Amino acid sequence: MTVSLPVVPAAAPAPAALPPLPGESVPGPVWPASARVLPSGGLAVGGVALAELADRFGTPCYVVDEDEVRARARAWRAALPDGRVAYAGKAFLTRAMIRWVREEGLWLDVCSAGELELAAHAGFPVERVILHGNAKSPDDLRTALRLGVGRVVIDSTGEIARLAALVPPGTRQRVLVRVVPGVEAGAHRAVRTGVDGQKFGLSLDGGEAADAVARVLGQPRLELMGLHCHLGSQIASVDPYTAAVRRLVPFLSALRDLHGLTFPELDLGGGFAIAYRDGEEALDPGEYARRVSAELALRCAHADLPVPRLTVEPGRWIAGPAGVALYRVLAVKSSGGRTFVAVDGGMSDNPRPALYGVRYTVRLAGRASVLPARPVTVVGRHCEAGDVLAEDVELPGDIRPGDVLAVPASGAYHLSMASAYNLVGRPPVAAVAGGRARLLVRRETSADLWSREVTV
């Protein structure tokens, strides 16, 4: 697949902000806004040639454009100036990322004691952290209370008494109740979490959500701030979110009538789509804010309810387009009428094609080619037939071992889901900005992997 980008010198500064994304569902940017084609035909991001990064840090390697991360965080803050934006750390979490979202004024959404402690050690204000999880361990809950987490999202009725029992006397822990609004959305059945029959949340239709609210209100050490829901992932339309509002506001009204209380917060989660290939749709924060805020205000007015403060949790939308994965070609061969390009990474550093069938863009990053493109399948190095990174993508006819390939939209769920399969260490992470690069996370070595063994 060819990429139409302007040719500029390698040291050209990255744009300070994203261009506006008009309309509800628009073709999203596959590459970071700073991406440029160099006179050599190679590609640069953040003012740094990707081939130079491959030589400096080795491959596979994750590259993150700091300016892109910050611009995307600002896009959500600008769209919801009176709301709350919590970065979903499960998408991509390092000390540097924590610092960036802190400096941009975001909250942070975590799913474990490990993510929470990293945030605390990196200096993030823990009172601005939301702890999720359908099965929080005792360590998760104790850590949250010890550090003073801002919100705990209740995901089951049994969790209520367990959490309340751990809260120190004379204090209260603020919580949200995660409900299932019965809205189906998401790009794959494995990531649709807004309907009954999956592991997350408490059903509105089945009565579990109402029961959980009553139980929380009966615990003097818990302070119920409102409701939470999450519909799924890779949602490109605003329609499912407005549908969720239409289900949740009547529930809030019924709770008011039953308990005589209103709640100040409504968290609609995240799941906002990005583009992985040219022409795919991405959700626009401005359109989301306009339509969802209007729907919420209208429904609350009809129900004579105060409008709760809206919280959103973008993770992939902020981190995904800011990341580029780099690989080096190891082999090219034909079989059964297909051409396979094998690289030095694979499902250990990106399991998402195998899990969800995600299709990526791939580009030759280190040189130009005058030969026409041909369809190839980019595969990994692991001992699995399903270790396929990108199927039927267009690459030059002279692709050869040693070439550097770049895969954009790789900033989310790559590092966080990486494994040590075949004892191949996880890749390093490098940040780029303003023509400079620095290492954020070093490559995992064989010594790192062996160090966990305790006997010979």
Q: Which residues are catalytic?
A: 383
DSSP calls for 342-380: EES--TTT--HHHHH------EE-S----SPEEEEEEE-
Cβ count near 162 (within 10 Å): 12
Angle between helices 285-303 and 66-79 (to 10 degrees): 30
What does the DSSP 8-state code read for residue 105? T
Three-state DSSP at 213 gives: helix
| Closest to 85 measured CA to CA, from 96, 66, 67, 101 | 101
Residue 209 makes CB contacts below 8 A (sequence gap 6+) with 177, 179, 180, 201, 202, 203, 251
Token match 């209208």: residue?
A: 298
Dump strand ranges (E) for 157-212.
173-180, 202-203
Q: Which residues pair with 7 in a beta bridge?
A: 37
User: Rounded distance, CA 444 to CA 387, Å?
Assistant: 20
User: Rounded distance, CA 293 to CA 339, Å?
Assistant: 50
Three-state DSSP at 278 gives: coil
User: Rounded distance, CA 414 to CA 91, Å?
Assistant: 8
Burial level of 309, CB count in 10 A (0-12/13-18/19+)? Answer: middle
Phi-psi region of 411 (alpha: psi -120 to 50; beta: other; left: phi over 0): alpha
- CB contact at 8 A, 228 and 178: yes
User: Rounded distance, CA 185 to CA 196, Å?
Assistant: 12
| Closest to 153 measured CA to CA, from 232, 249, 265, 228 | 228
| Closest to 387 measured CA to CA, from 334, 341, 437 | 341
User: Rounded distance, CA 28 to CA 409, Å?
Assistant: 10
Q: How far is CA 245 from CA 42, 181, 240, 273, in A?
A: 47, 9, 9, 19
